[in-house]
Structure 1
Amino acid sequence: MLLEMKGVAVNYGNINAIRDISISVPEGKIVTIIGGNGAGKTTTLRAMSGMVAPTRGEITFEGQRIDGLPASKVVAHGIAHVPEGRRIFPDMTVEENLRTGAFLRRDKDAIRSDLEDVYDRFPRLRERRRQTAKTMSGGEQQMLAIGRALMSRPRLLLMDEPSMGLAPVIVEEIARIVEEINAQGLSVVLVEQNAELALELADHAYVLETGNLALEGPADELHDNEHVRAAYLGI
């Protein structure tokens, strides 16, 4: 198993954000986490990427404990996080933003090669490489955030609400990109408010409700689950 969370809890002060969450991410698969607002989805990703430390439980990546490590060390292990709201550097150019994704790397030739690969994947970023990031559309900024994460050469990509606030045609493009990078061997954990999209893309799914794991199973089976259809698919 590539990544495993076992009995993980995260508290913010006296508030239990997630309680005893166990999630497994097989290599080469897309795993999605769905749930309503405040369910604990973002906190779960933040625990995986080292942005918050678990109160209890353990997280392993390729068999090594990573819970409690700072985020920079987690990135070095091979986990990249595309945060909710994109969190690009607005006053830096597109290329400067992309290069920040490789801040732990020293292989200059490979960085240049990976930068060209990102530009090939996202031609609009190539067109705007010297443009400041804040002048780009929401969809272009999302592509930039994904490209920046890919510059770290991750084994696992964590994506938090990549379709949020985007036009349907851009959402389709982001979905295609997720499928493409997964087909090339990159594992993905996808947190997505658009449950229909998430369950279409994913191999396996987890449903969080008020910080607890309510359901899990193959994504196609959860898509047909009566509770999921009523609560999250509007059916």
Structure 2
Amino acid sequence: MLEIRDLHVHYHKVAALKGVSLNVPSGGIVTIIGANGAGKSTTLRSISGLVRPSKGEIHFEGERVDHLAPEQIVARGIAHVPEGRRVFPDLSVEENLRIGAFLRSDKEKIETDIEEVFHHFPRLKERRTQWARTLSGGEQQMVAIGRALMSGPKLLLLDEPSMGLSPVMVQELSRVIVAIVETGVPVVLVEQNANLALRLASYAYVLEVGSVAVEGAASELRANDHVRRAYLGA
């Protein structure tokens, strides 16, 4: 579904990505793990058009998309939940969700999808008229994911969804991520919590200083000595 070929990204003269290549199939979860500053978020921002590569190509469903504007990429079916939630604080939960459907015109399906989001996150239904800024961190993360789902994505990019959340909330989000994949929407998951990421994913890439250091089936990487020492606390 998604193919990245030899991706290079620079911030001014600093190289953030140095020849990253990865593939995302049409089902399941692919995770990208690594230390802070390894290039994980930059990879997602490149896919969604928020930063421009200085070299390399990004293909989605056979079409090259690295030259497109972010809204064009959303229209093609890629939704990005950035690190830090970034809800609209002075809008209600439901208004935040409906903003995610801004590019859509299928009104009946939008209403169906609102109810599907509430099915994933019953707490949001209880708080549908509440201002987003009054929600807990975990609830705001639910809103951010729900808003992305309202775009009707074919591919969902999640950047550090568990950051700052309680273990109970992390467990709930993990359940929802798996449920989303079961509806047919594959996920690219960037996570600082490598244990969580490798439990959820079927395939994994380890980024180190802007390059892919290790890749393989998530089950294999859980047993990899370097990954265990560097990221799993073994």
Q: How high is the TM-score relative to the length of structure 2? A: 0.99
Aligned partner of 1:8 in structure 2 is: 7
Residue deviations 1:4-53, cap 9 Å, x none?
00001110100101111001000012000000000000000000111111
Q: Kindly provide the amino acid, as one letter, of the partner of residue 174 in structure 2.
A: A
Aligned partner of 1:144 in structure 2 is: 143
Aligned partner of 2:72 in structure 1 is: 73
Q: How high is the TM-score relative to the length of structure 1? A: 0.99
Q: What secondary structure, in the 3-state scheme, does the structure 2 residue paired with 1:38 have?
A: coil
Q: CA separation in 2, counterparts of 1:6 and 1:213?
A: 12
Q: Alignment identity in percent?
A: 62
Structure 1 residue ranges (4+ consecutive) displaced by more than 6 angstroms after TM superposition = none
Task: Give the alignment of 1:1-235 within 5 angstroms.
Answer: 2-235=1-234
Residue correspondences, number: 234
Q: What secondary structure, in the 3-state scheme, does the structure 2 residue paired with 1:97 have?
A: helix
Q: What secondary structure, in the 3-state scheme, does the structure 2 residue paired with 1:113 have?
A: helix
Q: CA separation in 1, counterparts of 2:103 and 2:4?
A: 25
Q: CA separation in 1, counterparts of 2:216 and 2:184?
A: 22
Q: Kindly provide the amino acid, as one letter, of the partner of residue 110 in structure 1.
A: K
Deviation at 1:212, TM superposition (A): 1.0
Deviation at 1:116, TM superposition (A): 1.2
Q: Kindly provide the amino acid, as one letter, of the partner of residue 120 in structure 2.
A: R
Q: CA separation in 2, counterparts of 1:113 and 1:174?
A: 21
Deviation at 1:183, TM superposition (A): 1.4
What is the root-mean-square deviation of aligned Cα atoms in Å?
0.6
Deviation at 1:185, TM superposition (A): 1.1
Q: CA separation in 1, counterparts of 2:190 and 2:120?
A: 22
Residue deviations 1:161-210, cap 9 Å, x none?
00000000000001111111111211000000000000000010000001
Q: Kindly provide the amino acid, as one letter, of the partner of residue 49 in structure 2.
A: G
Q: CA separation in 2, counterparts of 1:19 and 1:89?
A: 34
Deviation at 1:120, TM superposition (A): 1.6
